[in-house]
Amino acid sequence: MLDAVDAALMRALQGDGRATFQALADGVGLSRTAVRARVRQLVRSGAIRIVGVLHAGVVGMEVLGHVSFHVSGPVGSLLDALGEREAVTFAAQAAGRFPAVAQVRVADDAALSKELSELRSLPGVDGAEVFRANAVFKDAHSSVRELHDIELDALDWRLVRQLLKDGRASYADLARQVGLSQAAARSRVVRLLNSGVVHVTALVEPAAVGANERLGFGLRCRGDAEALGAALANMPGISFLASGFGRYDIIGVLTAPDRCQLVEALDSVRSTPGVGYAECWDHLSVRKERRGGERPLERVD
């Protein structure tokens, strides 16, 4: 059973998955040895996976669109089709105004327009309404830090691949995997992290920590959507948040251990100054969810 210390460690590792055991120990007031044992148990139990997540812009997927589908007939066949599309990173059957929702990531607006045309032509789709993200404030499955323009060579990409598999791999292990000295591996990894190319974080398995309820929401705001997004980003329970334009000004995802706490979290969102209209949809069945470490890399070593 996870306790308050485990929860604090998970939050710290979500912020910096490569934080030293000593830094984590200082944050929770335990010994380094005790914290190392707790982190290893969290990983062994499947409660968290500590992996590198790429900045979407690195792999040409900088533009994000949220699509709400009007559907005639069964939704299952549409979800099957969505699951096969490379640009679709998330697809779910939903309860609410729209029976299916999806997220797509593409290189630019021209590619988004082309993808939407193809999505609208899928069997069973009667129409689709689109939210085009402008700023992503929080995303458990992709780095949202500022991306600096740097040149990546084959050794950098090998290190990225290793970090996607194991975000806490030691510099000695990384050096052996890619054929560098430990000092050279450390220098390159620090450069990759500081540039925003990759961010090491703890991906929390909702079922393992009892967060079994998930709800999507769309907001129309009064005033500045960017300011509202920044205010909401640190709210507990929000796993994804973006501002943009289209049907909504802001979209997000809430997770909670049970329905009661989910309702409380949604009420907290609704009561935030600047929120006008709020619409939500229940994720009845998630058909596809591409996690950070599972993003395909087309680069070759």
State whether 101 and 120 are in the same domain. Answer: yes
pLDDT per residue rounded down to tens, the chain (301 residues)? 678 898 899 889 988 999 999 999 999 999 999 999 999 999 998 888 898 888 777 766 789 999 999 999 999 999 999 999 999 999 999 998 999 999 999 989 999 999 999 999 999 999 999 999 998 888 866 655 666 778 889 999 999 999 999 999 999 999 999 999 999 999 999 999 998 888 898 887 766 666 668 899 999 999 899 999 999 988 888 889 999 999 899 999 998 878 888 999 999 999 999 999 999 999 998 899 875 444 445 443 4
- 229 and 188 part of one domain: no
Q: Is residue 260, in this structure, part of any structural domain at all? A: yes
And the tokens for 38?
Answer: 């707790």
Residue 153 belongs to a domain with what CATH number? 1.10.10.10
Instruction: Write out the residue range of the structural domain in which residue 217 sits.
Output: 57-142+206-292
Question: Using CA atoms, how far apart are residues 227 and 140, in angstroms rounded to an integer?
Answer: 20
Measuring CA to CA, which residue among 19, 21, 68, 20 is closest to residue 200? 19
In sequence order, the β-bridge partners of residue 104 are 65, 88
36 and 102 both lie in a single domain: no
pLDDT score, position 289:
85
Are 240 and 252 contacting, i.e. CB atoms less than 8 angstroms apart? yes
Return the pLDDT at 297: 52
Tell me: do 93 and 135 sit in the same domain.
Answer: yes
Q: What does the alpha-carbon distance between residue 53 and residue 194 come to, in Å, rounded to a whole number? A: 13
pLDDT of residue 293: 42
CA 167 from centroid of its chain's CA atoms: 15
- Residue 301 domain flag: no
- Overall domain count for the chain: 3
Q: What is the pLDDT of residue 209?
A: 62
What was the pLDDT predicted at 301? 42
The pTM for the full model equals 0.74
167 token code pair:
């975000």
φ/ψ (deg, to 5) at 92: -150, 150
Cα–Cα distances in Å, from 274 out to 210, 227, 246, 280? 31, 9, 18, 17
Answer whether residue 133 is part of any domain: yes
Q: What pLDDT is attached to residue 104?
A: 94
Let me know whether 231 and 187 are in one domain: no
Distance of CA 58 to the CA centre of its chain: 15
